[in-house]
Structure 1
Amino acid sequence: MSYEELWHRLTPLYEAGEAKAVARWVLDVRFGLSMADILCGKVTDLSANDQAELEKMMLRLEKGEPVQYVVGTADFYGRQFHVEPGVLVPRPETAELCEWILTQKSRPSALLDIGTGSGCIAITLALEMPETKVSAWDISDAALGIAQGNAKTLEADVCFEKQDALSPPSDSRRWDVIVSNPPYIKPQERDGMAENVLNHEPEVALFAPEENPIIFYQRIGDYAWKSLTSGGLLFYELNPLTANEVSTYLSRLGFEEIEIRQDLFGKQRMLKAKKR
């Protein structure tokens, strides 16, 4: 198969530019072919075994499976994280949330990431702030295994724990920063979502309960109010449709200096709140 044949096979799912990018990424990450190699026609020089593997990967892509799952890696904050269907594919908006935390004037002594998934937030912050003790929770054994593997590969010191965000512990631990990217998509938003997300990414990490779509923000906010140190910060990734509801709830709890920021697409995507 030539490069042209590969990306043309993906055009029913992607625009031409994105189809080319997906094909290039597969050839680069899995088969080590640079753009120069591709332009020189070295795709057709792959061994019979590699050609067979490439065909299997193409069949998965043609079914709409995210390329990150197909190649097993996702780029996040300049690093590569292993991902598979048990965790969400890290998004650029989440990297913006990490950047916001990293631009704070003081470094936290203890930070907690609730709902860690692949570990992209916790591991990134642990590597960028080595003086901070970072912990991370998730309810999924599969996610915790993936996150622990990523921490080992990237040599990040993170303490992972199995914990339900809706039933946080009543212990005496104290955090300077709590961050969470919880399930926040309303079920009624399903019709407007991409098929590759709906069919392949874990629903438990995507969708909030229909009867209360901000319940994760509420329970995490309740826990943060009890467990943050004085002046401690709470950071959320938001659903723009419920951003104001979340802000109002935190304000009623007593949080101050609540700020909502837009992501690179101009949507209300991030929140910071301070415990007085």
Structure 2
Amino acid sequence: MLLQQFKKQFYLELSKLYPETEIQSFFNLLIEYKLNLSRIEVALQPDLNISEIDLSFLQNALIDLKNQVPIQYILGETEFYGLPFKVNENVLIPRPETEELVNWIIASTPPSSQIKILDIGTGSGCIAISLAKNLQKCKMSAIDISKKALKTAANNAKINNVKVEFIEKDILKTSVLPSNYDIIVSNPPYVRELEKKLMQENVLANEPHLALFVKDKNPLLFYDKIADLALNHLSKNGSLFFEINQYLAKETVKLLESKGYKNIILKKDIFGVDRMIKATI
């Protein structure tokens, strides 16, 4: 099949599912990934004959997109904070809001600081690895309950040439952390079951629910547990950073206040919603 023929088929079959700009983005990403062709090269080579092996991959990718599989899972990779990350069904796809959380921590920390940082619920390792890459004198550790997620995170650390200590641990069953830290950061599960109807179908169908959802009756259980652990394991003048549920911002602030945290800062993300908190003890 010629490249222009596949492009026509690709746009036609996805036209009722996605806006044209998104279809164009999908097409460009797939062609660059599999054929190593830029957008300009695609325009200059419409009669390029696609090999059977490459066409098989592209046709399967088209089927996956029709079934709402995220493009990041199809490619098996994405970018976060300017760094490459492998992703799969065992980890969440990193979001731009989380990049803002990472940026806040980096901006709050002198790059030469020899500090200890713990990332709780690391998933793909995007937070821990991005911090380790940009705060090169820090000692970085990361916890996750999922052995498969930690395997993905360890691979991502290797790809990005950073050292991170990965620890398999159920934080809800943890009474003592491995050490004391200058910064503890977490982007824990925070989407309530009642909010499922607000989410895109491709997220619900493909991303790990263990990393997304909490029960409606106790939506702040991870924040409650982590904040308690941080009280005993943050160093003097240490900071706790959270990514939070925008609908529970006030409740999260009150939770931290009730435990004696000070200097609590609630910050909005690029979409103008309450998304991040910083607090000290």
TM-score by length of 1: 0.96
Identity among equivalent positions (%) equals 38
Question: 1:171: how far off?
Answer: 5.0
Residues 62-108 of structure 1: CA deviation (Å, up to 9, x unaligned): 10000000000011011110000110000000000000000014436
Q: What are the within-5 Å matches in structure 2 for residues 152-231 of structure 1?
A: 152-170=158-176, 173-231=179-237
| Bigger mean CA offset, 228-237 vs 30-39 | 30-39
Distance 2:47 2:196 in 1: 38
Residues 23-45 of structure 1: CA deviation (Å, up to 9, x unaligned): 11111123211111221245742
Moved over 4 A (4+): none
Alignment-derived partner of residue 137 in structure 2: 131
Q: What are the within-5 Å matches in structure 2 for residues 55-66 of structure 1?
A: 55-66=59-70
Alignment-derived partner of residue 6 in structure 1: 10
Residues 243-273 of structure 1: CA deviation (Å, up to 9, x unaligned): 1111111111111110111110001001100
Distance 1:63 1:26 in 2: 16
Distance 2:36 2:162 in 1: 26
* Other structure's SS at 2:214 match: coil
Q: 2:31 aligns with which of 27, 32, 38?
A: 27
Q: Which runs of 5+ in 1 are unaligned?
A: none
TM-score by length of 2: 0.94
In the alignment, residue 133 of structure 2 is paired with which amino acid? L
Alignment: residue pair count: 275
Distance 1:177 1:130 in 2: 15
Q: What are the within-5 Å matches in structure 2 for residues 71-90 of structure 1?
A: 71-90=75-94
Distance 2:203 2:248 in 1: 21
Q: Which runs of 5+ in 2 are unaligned?
A: none
In the alignment, residue 218 of structure 2 is paired with which amino acid? N
Rate the CA distance shift 1:155–1:169 in 2: closer, same or farther, 3 A.
farther
* Other structure's SS at 1:84 match: coil
* Other structure's SS at 1:196 match: helix
| Contact 2:188 2:211 survives alignment (8 Å) | yes
Alignment-derived partner of residue 47 in structure 1: 51
CA RMSD of aligned residues (A): 1.4
